[in-house]
Amino acid sequence: MGCEDLKSKLEGHFRIEFGASFSDLGDGEMRFGTTKRREAKRFSGYLLPIWLARQNSKCIVSISPELQSEVESVFEGLTASEIFSKKGLRKASNLAESIGGSVHNHGPHFHNGPETFKPYTRYKVIELRESDRDIFERHDDWFGAFTGYWSETKRNTKVFAIFESDIPVSTAYTMCNSVYAWEYAVWTRRECRGRGYGKAVVTAAVETTLACEKLPIYSTSWENIASRRLAESLGFQFYCESYAIKIGDRETQGGTGRPAISW
């Protein structure tokens, strides 16, 4: 994957994910894009009908069609920096509250490629498949929290895990957000953090992503410093920042608060 191919995949991914690519915009331009994708886009049980992304002075506001006029009335005339300022986030919070939602995951998007990737291979990582259902069920206390990704995108979800003494200590999932890119969800047990497990499972996920000629995408929140450092240590490069407005409740297993398992 050369530089031009990487750039093409980045632009293609964002046109699908947000309805426009930053290369489509001029400096200082803000573009509202309505897309049916916002109605169908789910993140572990949540709907994300409004998504805002910023790259320097450019801003894309991706909206579910029925919310277009409401969103435009809030953000029309604002610059990218204003939308992502404390004042802009307050406006977003008020808008979210008016539709029964909340602001979700304000943070950076990173990308990677063969020329920038810095693999970390200290630990043995296992790829789990649907045929390993017995492992998922035996360690439901761990994997149960991640089956939302598995059941929503089963054909494109790949699961990588590290086990210590037959106990899963770290897991990375691939999520296919477009035909161009795979994104990752990664968790490590609190008592096992700081040992490099997260870097190892994400390394396995990135290697598989590149082998499948997809673009590795990693997103997190600004507050999650450890997650940002993990991405940067593996060679991920900053691309843009974003936040979304989410609505809807998780479908949970009775009394556990965890997403329901669906095989």
User: What are 59-114's pLDDT values in tens digits?
Assistant: 999 998 888 899 999 999 999 999 999 999 999 999 999 999 999 888 999 999 99
Q: Which residue has the higher pLDDT, 176 or 99?
A: 99
Closest by CA to 160, choosing from 194, 111, 127, 119, is: 127
Residues in the chain: 263
Residue 88 belongs to a domain: no
Write the pLDDT tens digit of every residue in 206-261.
999 999 999 999 999 999 999 999 999 999 999 999 999 988 754 433 333 333 32
Residue 54 belongs to a domain: no
> What per-residue confidence (pLDDT) applies to 252?
37
Residue 164 belongs to a domain: yes
> What per-residue confidence (pLDDT) applies to 261?
29
> What per-residue confidence (pLDDT) applies to 151?
55
Residue 137 belongs to a domain: yes
Give backbone dihedrals phi and psi of 250, rounded to 5 degrees, phi first.
Answer: -70, 145
Residue 18 belongs to a domain: no
CB neighbour list of residue 245: distance below 8 Å, 6 or more residues apart: 48, 49, 50, 51, 92, 95, 96, 99, 101, 102, 103, 104
- CA distances to 48, 71, 80 from 37, rounded to whole Å, are 9, 16, 23
Query: Are 106 and 245 contacting, i.e. CB atoms less than 8 angstroms apart?
Result: no
Write the pLDDT tens digit of every residue in 137-170.
888 888 875 555 555 445 568 899 999 999 999 9
Query: What residues make up the domain containing 186?
Result: 126-240
Residue 198's domain is classified under what CATH number?
3.40.630.30
Query: Are 149 and 185 contacting, i.e. CB atoms less than 8 angstroms apart?
Result: yes
Residue 141 belongs to a domain: yes
Cα 140 from chain centroid (whole Å): 23
- Count of structural domains within the chain: 1
Q: Mean pLDDT, to the nearest integer, of 188-201?
A: 95
Residue 12 belongs to a domain: no
Please tell me what DSSP assigns to residue 259. Answer: B
Residue 37 belongs to a domain: no
At residue 183's C-alpha, the angle toward residues 178 and 184, to 5°, is: 150
